[in-house]
Amino acid sequence: MSEPIKNRYEFVLLFDVENGNPNGDPDMGNMPRVDPQTGHGIVTDVCLKRKVRDYVEMVKGDAPGYMIYVKSGVVLNDQHKKAYDYLGIEPSSKKPKDSRLTKFMCDNFFDIRTFGAVMTTDVNCGQVRGPVQLNFARSIDPIFQQEVTITRQAVANERDAEKGQTMGKKQIVPYALYRAEGYISAHLAQKTTGFSEDDLKLFWESLVNMFEHDHSASRGKLSARKLIVFKHDTPLGCCQSHILFDKVKVERVSGDRPPRSIGDYKVAVDRDVPAGVEVIEFL
């Protein structure tokens, strides 16, 4: 693996959904998440991180240094035991005094090295704050949550056989463009997890491609539309992050009718940024 990153970054990811549910809320019958005060759609940071993890696992498998810590069916204590077994230490629930336990987890699990992790379970490997952090994604405009009734020709059990078909529901957003913002700290990469230049390249690749390998009937048409990256020429950065986020403007051009495609928006990136900052567009 390459050296830890030496530059601070901020980034803006624009993605859209068509006739799908990008992130259902289990407390609301799996309806698309929404800000109840404004009507804008929400996609949680956890949802986006899951897609990054799945993409990295698909690309890297269990290659050394690229295992995934948080994934379906995995017992976290078993993940932690790998560090104890490697070092020949008896597992303990107490705060570890040996920093090599946490270092082992960072070195071997991509998502810990990237996002950090709280590993203070019965088998304690400590906790670490990752250099890559994501905000909730929000839709540019208020969304319309639609529940569509569907029918199924087959039935699940004999008592419904006479019905011939059963009814169901699908929750969708006809169309919405979402904006997610994130931060990458060179300071935390160097001090805590060792997040490297190779990791950074893989992370950008995952943001661009993660929706392409996560299609399903319920999610509809999810697409990454634009990734704008602001690269500082120093580890600590050259300006506040909000100054750079404000350089990315998304405006409606479709008038009063509801947006139904990316063509209903204009994305403008102001490249007049503070000295020491480079603007990179991946899409």
> Tens of pLDDT along the chain (283 residues)?
689 999 999 999 999 999 999 999 999 999 999 999 999 999 999 999 999 999 999 999 989 999 999 999 999 999 999 999 999 999 999 999 999 999 999 999 999 999 999 999 999 999 999 999 999 999 999 999 999 988 877 777 777 777 767 778 899 999 999 999 999 999 999 999 999 999 999 999 999 999 999 999 889 999 999 999 999 999 999 999 999 999 999 999 988 899 999 999 999 999 999 999 999 999 8
Q: Both tokens of residue 23? A: 């992130």
Global pTM reads 0.94
Indicate whether 3 belongs to any domain: no
* Through-space distance between the first and last CA atoms of the chain, rounded to whole angstroms: 26
Of residues 87, 62, 194, 76, the one with CA closest to residue 124: 76
Q: Please list, in sequence order, all residues whose beta carbon lies within 8 angstroms of the beta carbon of residue 197, skipping any fewer than 6 positions away.
A: 2, 3, 5
In a domain, 272, yes or no: yes
- Structural tokens at position 93: 């629930």
- The answer to whether residue 1 is domain-embedded is no
Residue 150 to residue 263: CA distance in whole angstroms: 30
Structural domain harbouring 44? 9-281
Q: Is 4 part of any domain?
A: no
Kindly give the interhelix angle for 197-209 and 45-60, rounded to the nearest 10 degrees: 110
Q: Which secondary-structure segment (H or E) carries 99?
A: helix 99-108
The structural domain count of the chain equals: 1
What does each C-alpha distance from 168 to 148, 151, 152, 219 come to in angstroms? 8, 6, 7, 16
